Structure 1
Amino acid sequence: MPRLLMLPPAPASRVGTNQVRLDGKFVEGMRYICANWPGEVGCVLRGSDAAIPFGDVYDPAQLPFDLTLLAEGQAVPQEILDASDIVEASGDLHLDLDLADRTVHQRTRCVFVIEYTLGTRLQILGLDRDRSTLQKAKSALWLLQQERRRRRALRRADGVQVNGFPAYDAYRRLNGNTVMYLDNRMQGAMFADQDDLTRKAAVLTAGGPLRLINSGRLEPMKGAQDLVPVARALADRGVNFTLDIYGTGSLQDQIRADIQTHQLAERVRLHAPVDFVTELVPISRRDADLFLSCHRQSDPSCTYVEAMGCGLPVIGYDNAMLSRLASDSAAGWTVRLADTAALADRIAALASDPAGIGGASRAALDFARRHDFATEFALRRDHLLHLLDASETPADLTKK
């Protein structure tokens, strides 16, 4: 039975001597993987003191996978690698870019999972308000150096799994065994149904407000600073709308203050984060018509597909991910990057086009169903299992 070792960039910290704090979303994902992998599953995480907003305390002995918690920055011990049939590591994490070399003479297959491009990393750096211009210049140089290491690692790996269109376009030519997937948590009864879409359409057709929703981290890299300006522009244009924002982050106090300053409290509501399955999904299915995204960078946010699975078309900036997703799904609209006025203009036009929103809602749901969690996981699992096919030539005799 093949042993899978996973090295995801998930947060972890020790609690006392025998327990760990882990992200709840990560643990649930690992439970699914363990239930659907035909063998043992191990996981290596690096501990840190960083906060885990949706974390819970776990007894490692009660988890369905073997957990090894390393110190922050510590290399993965060779014996853990050698005991595994497949190592799935993050190509976004610079600490593990040497793993393809460290498995080159072993039976272990090495696969990298990656979602950020160099361009996205530089975009995120540029939006960092806590670094000076000099610090950003030094960090940009470091990113360029790591990118050379990353591209070499992807070439030497046995396979690559890429989350989202931008990273696929950037890295697929480096490795002939590359697959793309769209990460999200939608499955089963979580999806919107026809009754949901009918109710949404009825509200708009009856002249009700266009109900916008946004969820996620309230950080500059997520474009949260543009949410209130878009709302102000909509109010100036006389659009009948509401905007519900679910999240927390460094910009939450500014957003709350701006809502009051610009007298938007009756239209714009800032909520604390809520549980995804039991609260956010039902709210999105029942009380929203359109997902407003102000993401400036091109990361493959799972929020896009998750919103679509709730029957919500997505409107936002023309970053490389959303532009492609909106085009392929026929379930979204994009405007120039960081142009809040253009975004408001497009939303205003949609507010008077219930039929257009209804058609995009159906397309959104259809697209999300084709890329539900189970389908995307099966694609990735089968990709890994094919590496163990005895009929294939071992990778260490070919690419490496």
Structure 2
Amino acid sequence: MTPLTVEAVEDLNLDVVTALHSPKMDFVRHLRTPVVLTSEQTMSIRHGINRSHLRGISLMRASLGLIRMEKRLRGLLRHALSAQFNGPASMKSYGGLVNEPLVFQDHRVLSRDISAARSVSPWDGSRPLRLGFSGRLISIKGPEFAVELANRAAEAGLPVELYVFGAGALENRLRAEAGDNVYFEGFKNFRTEWLPAVQEGIDVMVMPHVQGDPSCTYFESLGSGAPILGFDNETLTPLVEEHDIGWTVKKRDVDALLTELRRIIGDPEVLADTRERGLNLVADNSFEVTTQRRMDHIQKAVFSA
């Protein structure tokens, strides 16, 4: 494979280069070819990721490294023709550094997937509420809080089941802590297994992320008919505040999660309305629509230069 160097890229005689907004892509600032960057994580999100698994001197060193990295990342944006921002957090932090920025939400939900989700009736209270957790079973995703919520709900006599999709370093611990109302589904192929499982079997997706990375699972859950219950962070909170597609509480506060869960169980009509708003949001920003917007943005940036 040809190394990514200025010379190798220029030899391709391209009209535009797209690159991830990352220190590893620093060489693109030296290209003559126009560059459109894709940005996802902010300094705050990176710090949140570090805080989830580092402590003491290790966290301090990582934080100093982020400060040094931030200067390089901002410089990279200033050299770009434009940029596309995955999620509201990166747009808020960096959008002012480029011309004609585009904000989008990365996901894989097609228009036909949303139609399939709409064919499933919303929860009406006649059976246990089926919660889902989907993602790597690692600290930054907060799966332990989802399991604790399910355990607490069972102790309180609430009709709740939790289905855990994914695998990771915390799996053995989570299995040991989980009650009888928690089911571990393992890793699922997104299109052939995950989508139908969530569309047909999950009423609310629990996403207690302790940091704000723009996970695909936010929109993929909403587009499957599962509103989101999670922690306040740089990605979920703006979605909930602007579109009312779920519920957020303070980070690491399982008591608050349980309080919201009680409210959800107590009013199936509110849950159904929230579900519909989530489906509408993703329908307006389906994979096809989002891809076309991104392509149109790149073309406009290049031809306007």
Normalising TM by the smaller chain, what interval?
over 0.9
1:295 alignment partner, SS class: coil
Q: Which residue of 2 aligns with 1:48?
A: none
Q: Which residue of 1 aligns with 2:101?
A: 178
**Residue from 343, 347, 355 that aligns with 2:269:** 355
The Cα of 1:233 is off from its aligned counterpart by 1.8
Q: Which residue of 2 aligns with 1:310?
A: 224
Q: Which residue of 2 aligns with 1:381?
A: 295
Alignment partners' CA distance in 2, 1:280 and 1:251: 20
Quick check: 1:81–1:87 contact (8 Å CA) kept in 2?
no
The Cα of 1:387 is off from its aligned counterpart by 2.8
1:98 alignment partner, SS class: helix
Alignment partner of 1:210 is 2:123? no
The Cα of 1:193 is off from its aligned counterpart by 4.2
Q: Which residue of 2 aligns with 1:162?
A: 85
**Residue from 217, 230, 241 that aligns with 1:327:** 241
Quick check: 1:290–1:312 contact (8 Å CA) kept in 2?
yes
Alignment partner of 1:127 is 2:52? yes
Q: How many residues align?
A: 303
Map residues 41-52 of structure 1 onto 2, 5 A cutoff.
Answer: none
Alignment partner of 1:234 is 2:158? no
Please give the per-residue CA displacement for 1:373-394, whole angstroms capped at 9, x wherever unaligned. 11111111111111332xx3x4
The Cα of 1:94 is off from its aligned counterpart by 1.0
The Cα of 1:122 is off from its aligned counterpart by 0.6
1:320 alignment partner, SS class: coil
Quick check: 1:245–1:270 contact (8 Å CA) kept in 2?
yes
Flag structure 2 segments of 5+ consecutive residues without an equivalent: none
Alignment partner of 1:118 is 2:74? no
Map residues 234-273 of structure 1 onto 2, 5 A cutoff.
Answer: 234-259=153-178, 264-265=179-180, 267-273=181-187
Q: AA paired with 1:173? A: G
Label 1:223 to 1:205 Cα distance change in 2 as closer, same or farther (>3 A).
Answer: closer
Q: AA paired with 1:150? A: L
Q: Which has the larger radius of gyration?
A: 1
2:57 alignment partner, SS class: helix
Alignment partners' CA distance in 1, 2:100 and 2:275: 34
Alignment partners' CA distance in 2, 1:188 and 1:334: 27
**Residue from 182, 185, 194 that aligns with 2:118:** 194
Alignment partners' CA distance in 1, 2:255 and 2:7: 54
Quick check: 2:117–2:200 contact (8 Å CA) kept in 1?
no
Q: AA paired with 2:222? A: M
The Cα of 1:225 is off from its aligned counterpart by 2.2
The Cα of 1:145 is off from its aligned counterpart by 0.5
Please give the per-residue CA displacement for 1:139-181, whole angstroms capped at 9, x wherever unaligned. 2111110100100111121011100001111111111221101
Q: Which residue of 1 aligns with 2:62?
A: 139
Alignment partners' CA distance in 2, 1:76 and 1:338: 44
Flag structure 1 segments of 5+ consecutive residues without an equivalent: 1-67, 395-400
Label 1:388 to 1:173 Cα distance change in 2 as closer, same or farther (>3 A).
Answer: closer
Q: CA RMSD of the aligned region, Å?
A: 1.5
What is the TM-score of this pair, normalised by structure 2? 0.95
Alignment partners' CA distance in 2, 1:360 and 1:251: 31
The Cα of 1:82 is off from its aligned counterpart by 4.3
- Aligned-pair identity in percent equals 27
The Cα of 1:226 is off from its aligned counterpart by 1.3
Q: Which residue of 2 aligns with 1:222?
A: 141
Alignment partners' CA distance in 2, 1:77 and 1:173: 27
Higher relative contact order (CA 8 A, sep 6+): 2
1:169 alignment partner, SS class: helix
Alignment partner of 1:152 is 2:75? yes
Alignment partners' CA distance in 2, 1:279 and 1:296: 27
